[in-house]
Amino acid sequence: MYLDAAVSREPRVCVHHWSWLDVIRGGVNWAELRQHSRCWLRLESPGKDWAVEQALLQRGAEGSLEPCFESWTTDEVGSMTAQPGLIVAQAQWWLGWRKVLQEIRDALATRAPHVICSSPPEEVAILFHKHACQERLEAAGVACPAASSVITGGYEEIREMMERPAGAWRRLFLKPCHGSSASGVVALEVSPHRGIQARTTVEMQDAPSGGVKLFNRRQLQRYTDPAEVKRLCDHVTRHRAYVQQWVPKAGWQGLRMDLRVVVIAGGARHVVPRLSEAPMTNLQLGGRRGDAAQLREHMGEEAWQRLLATAEGAAAAFPASLHVSLDIAPTSGFRRFLVLEANAFGDFLPDLLWEGRETYDWELEAMLTQVSTSGA
């Protein structure tokens, strides 16, 4: 709806929509795009549509996963019904997603090579694999919190890191590699006085047939029983996860803060301060938006420009993507800015303006500029 509204403000552009189910099931004739001499393809998030998730899980079941990760057969996926909030077999889902993205890339290369992708499939696949994404950022010299390799030993492997003599890992985030919007994330900390504590979006439910189902909840769950924390972490790591060091964030207005920055055509265009009392600042978990202009005045122009430069440097690690959305943590006194994550589809910021324009307005302008200069 918001993209269509932006298009309505730009008379040189028309839009045609394809559903993800049509794409996954091979119902799109990519050669039709040859009739358009100047054409962009915009990939949207597959969202939370159960039919789409089922199709991707079934495609992922055709691949092979390490035994330590949860997987479902095509028959099991086909017999399931939608369960709101259920965390599906995420590593398997990503395998299916990667296959579909590769098919789009191959189809365009052979049937419509003139088409420009605003989010190239090969980069989207990496942006949906948080661990691989962090490796790419670090290889490009981008400052990120320290991170582990992918966890294959469950809770015992995590505790071994937390008990190292240096103590740098006493507080960490356990992050599923393929989740979004804090799905499955666990803020884990241990202290001599309070013991172990986990705060998370995840609610565990015993399945009637045995085992445990994980559900995302908008209300953060708190686990303090060591056995329950172990059970939680063991099941989250079954979806392929890694740990990232919990970096103390700068405070503002009495709350913790991180920043969503959208970079479009190489320029940082939108900055959203996200404020919360909780470790996760996501707006759907009770975080609130701060005012970017007020924050800019508070932190000072030098720090503000370093923030924008950090975001633009991180986005440059994905040079073929028209837009990349960064989650960035400022440290105390705004001395450093650490990139927590990069996102392919984090540009949906309804009614949030930057220099009088929404994100989609900036993206359409960049598309038209590139088309006119490239002659595509």
pLDDT digits (tens, 9 = 90+) for 60-91: 998 788 999 999 999 999 999 999 999 999 99
pLDDT at 77: 95
Q: 249-353 has which CATH code?
A: 3.30.470.20
**Contact yes or no for 212/195 (Cβ under 8 A):** no
CB of 163 within 8 A of CB of 228?
A: no
pLDDT of 372: 58
How high is the pLDDT of residue 374?
Answer: 52
Q: Where are the domains of the chain?
A: 2-117, 154-245, 249-353
Each residue's pLDDT tens digit, 31-46: 998 888 788 999 999 9
pLDDT tens readout for residues 272-317: 999 999 999 988 888 899 999 999 999 999 999 999 999 999 999 9
